[in-house]
Every structure is written in C-alpha cells, then in structure tokens.
A and B are shown apart, each in its own frame.
Chain A
C-alpha cells in the first residue's frame, strides 16, 4: 500500500474520505442509476456502502483487496475484483431516498474498514442515510476488532437491526493465517467471538451474521462444525466463495472446485433447515466429506428448491433476502458460485451435475 504522509486530521482537506464520501458496490451504483449498465438475471436490492480512507484498511487480510500491504494505491485497487466507485455520502442518501419512492429499497449495509475513525464515521453515515430514508432497514458490517458492548449499543440505538461480522476463516488456525497474527494484522479469533456473541445477545436471534469464506484451506469438517455451532447459537452464517484478488497475497491460491462448493452449500442448508445431525456426515482422513447419510426425499427437495445455492444475505423489511451481492464471488461470464436469484429448473440441473452428489451420498429413507 502507498504510504500516506498527510496526518489523519488534515486528510479530509486533501482526499474524499468518509464520512463525507463512501464507496458503493458497482451493482448498487448501477441500481441507483449512478453507473450505466445492468445486472444479468438479477436486481441489486441491497445498497452496500464501504468506508473510504487514503490508507485503505489497516488490517492485512491475505485475500482482501483492501489489505494494508497490497501493492498500489488504495483508490486504484479493486475490492472483490471490481472497482467500488466513490460518491458523496449525501448524494448516496438522496439517491436511496429517491429510489425508495419509486421502488422500495431492500436494505442498506454500511461496511467498516479497520481505521481509528471507522466507528464515529459509520455512525455519521448511518445517520445521514436514516434521515433521508427512515423506512429503509440498515445493517452494519463491522470490524469486530474496533467494537465493544457500548459501541454495539450505539449502533443498535442508531437504528441498525442487523450486524454482520467478517469471521471469514472457519477455524482459529485459518483465521490467524489469513487475518490474524501471522499476517501482522490486528484481528484476534477469540475477540471476534466475544463480539459475535455480544452482538447476538443485543440484536437477537438470527440478527447477527458471520461471513465465512469457503476455500481458504479449511476442511469440510471445519466448515460443518462451524455451521452446527452457528445454528445452535442462532447466528446466521453467510457463505462466500474464495476467488483470488489480483495483487493480494493469495492471488495464486486456486479456487476450490465447484463440486465442493455445491456440497458445502447443500450440507449447510440441511443443517440449518432440515435438522441434519452431525452423525449423518462421515469424513475422510483429510477431514473432507466422504459420506452423507441423508434421506432421498429431504435432499432432493432441498436441491430442487434451489434455495441452498442462493446467496446468503440479509433480508429486506419483509423478510425476503435483499443482499444478493450479484457476481461478487465470480465474474458474470463464469459459473454461478452463489445465485443472486432463485435458481430455476435449468439452473438446478446444472447444479446437480456440478455437485456430483452421488459420489458421497448414501440415500436413506425418511423413517431411517
């Protein structure tokens, strides 16, 4: 990352920084009419806002486009492989309000980066959006490292109803390697869980979500154990598929094969919605899925619904998934990793082929 020599107290005069400016996802910019274009087979119902500082982010996560030690200027770098255009926060708030009149905005999500100004600036951004569009639900995607109980309460009192936390690594070891001490980053596994559980207590069941990246080197057992734990604690798990960001430390790490991602998506759905028990899953020596003992009817119904393969995201005010992050984990010309819409029968046929489930599925009967 380029070294910024202007002190933080003077940066607002020289740079377009938060809270007066925010970055916005390309899909949201298209949806608000700020960028030309359209989104293949989907709409973008969640307006994702990201804080902007000249230093980027002080954390150093190996896979992230905003990482402190990624080469290049932060303003030129991509985040999840596409540019995040920068706009004045007030303009964005006005556009959200305008769109809310024409067509309900599903949700707004304000995302923090690791910076000493991030808490105060996030509150300011939330206030500006809330003033212009008071009906629109707001989620905060926070950096747990910056928070404590008092700050979580401030966020809740500002009108935020959902907290998202990037856990990203499925185990402490993966977390440390990708985000924690082994990266010279500030994040700590135990403290993340402290904040996740405190947020769960303050915001209520399923109103806290953990982001989990599939493909950082974890095993299936690591993931499924985490899914069982999250289910038991009534915390939502949002899956992401690792996709190497050019210029980051993991740019050469291969993506996981599609069949693995599909199986992970399916098992997660069965754990969360069909009471799949830990005993129904057998692992090989490497800790990966070797056998799934699950009833034919249950599994086929889940697959045919298409629901396991949709993006995991926060709901709108009616409980319908709003944050679908279209083409966030893959390019629009590539196969879908998560579907930003409900897959149709044709999509489901492709999913079945990709998943190769018969290799690991021992069909049982419902009565078994």
Chain B
C-alpha cells in the first residue's frame, strides 16, 4: 500500500502518513521511536480540518502522567474548541512549546514540527493494538471521511 493516504475536502488536499498509528475517533497520531521507546503525539489532518486554523494551544506540563483517553491539553480554533486526548498511557517527557507560541505550526507542519508532546509509554505493546495501524489506514480514512461529512464537520 502507499505510505501516505491522501484525501480531499473541498478544494484542498490533506494527507495521512502510514508510518504511524492513529486514534480511532480522536484523530491523534502516535509515532513510536524505536531508539528511545518514546512516542511522539500530534493531531492528524482530518481532525485539524474539522477544527480549522488554530488560535490557541494549551498542553499539560512535562512530568504529567496520563492514561489513554485522558486530556493532554486543548486546542482552540477561531470558532471551535477541542480536547486533546492521549491515545496512549504514560508520562509526558517533552512538550512542544513552539506550538503554544505559534499554534499555526500544528496546521502547517502537522506531522513534523507541529507535534504536541512526547510520551514515555507505560504499555505501548498493548495500547498500540487499539490504535489504527498501517494496514487499516485506507478503510479507516474512508469511514472517517464519511462520518465527518455526515456530522457536517467537513464539506
């Protein structure tokens, strides 16, 4: 399969890379670093498309322990707010303060410099199985596009 899923909303194209895992409903991405065993967390393009251009980002401080599904912080777009939920459990070991100072980074460099936190996972092996994997990606993207359109969150 392609290492990237591309989809279109209105006139704009968005991508979802296949090198990482995704939260099934919250559209948080999780990229495992084999060297450190840590996981970088961000929000994917579909989640961001439904929120719009970000105006504010708040993130939990380094050292916070989160369980899967708990809040990592909040995102605020011009006309919408959204909670950032953690796709995995563990301890926040780094947070990207650049996104707090410049939230547009999350929209503009979604999968690179727009990451939000790095987590030292407590149960990656089991929890990663509950996330969307590379193999599931094409079907999941299609079904999520349908769900988002039905909800009226995207065109």
Contact = CB atoms under 8 A, between A and B. Distances in A.
Contacts of B55: 82, 331
A26 B52 CA distance: 10
21 contacts: A26-B52, A30-B52, A33-B11, A35-B52, A36-B10, A36-B49, A36-B51, A36-B52, A36-B53, A37-B51, A37-B77, A38-B50, A38-B51, A39-B79, A40-B81, A82-B79, A326-B79, A327-B79, A331-B76, A333-B56, A333-B81
A72 interface: no
A80 to B, nearest CB: 10
A287 interface: no
Given A33-B10, A38-B152, A331-B55, A26 B49 contact: no
A27 interface: yes
B56 A39 contact: no
B154 A332 contact: no
B12 interface: yes
Nearest to A43: B152
B102 to A, nearest CB: 13
B74 interface: yes
Interface SS of A by simple majority? loop
B80 interface: yes
B50 A332 contact: no
A146 B34 CA distance: 66
B119 to A, nearest CB: 24
B72 to A, nearest CB: 16
B153 A38 contact: yes
B127 interface: no
**Which interface residue of B53, B74, B76, B77 has the most chain A CB atoms within 10 A?**
B77
B111 to A, nearest CB: 16
Contacts of A333: 56, 74, 76, 81
B48 interface: yes
A36 B79 contact: no
Interface of A: 26-27, 30, 33, 35-40, 82-83, 326-327, 331-333
Interface in B1-38: 9-12
Contacts of B49: 36-37
Nearest to B9: A36
Contacts of B53: 26, 35-37, 83
Contacts of A39: 79-80
Contacts of A37: 49-53, 77-80
Contacts of B97: none
Given A38-B154, A326-B79, A332-B76, 17 more contacts: A26-B53, A35-B53, A36-B9, A36-B48, A36-B50, A37-B50, A37-B52, A37-B77, A37-B78, A37-B80, A38-B152, A39-B80, A40-B81, A82-B78, A327-B78, A332-B79, A333-B74
B155 to A, nearest CB: 5
10 shortest interchain CB distances as A-B pairs: A37-B52, A26-B78, A39-B79, A36-B49, A333-B81, A82-B78, A33-B10, A40-B80, A332-B81, A333-B76
Contact of A26 (B12, B48, B51, B79): B79
A333 B58 CA distance: 12
B78 A38 contact: no
Given A36-B9, A36-B154, A333-B56, A30 B50 contact: no
Nearest to A31: B79
Contacts of B80: 37-40, 332
Interface string B104-143: 0000000000000000000000000000000000000000
A29 to B, nearest CB: 9
A66 B56 CA distance: 22
Interface string B55-81: 110000000000000000010111111
A218 to B, nearest CB: 29
A331 B52 contact: no
A308 to B, nearest CB: 23
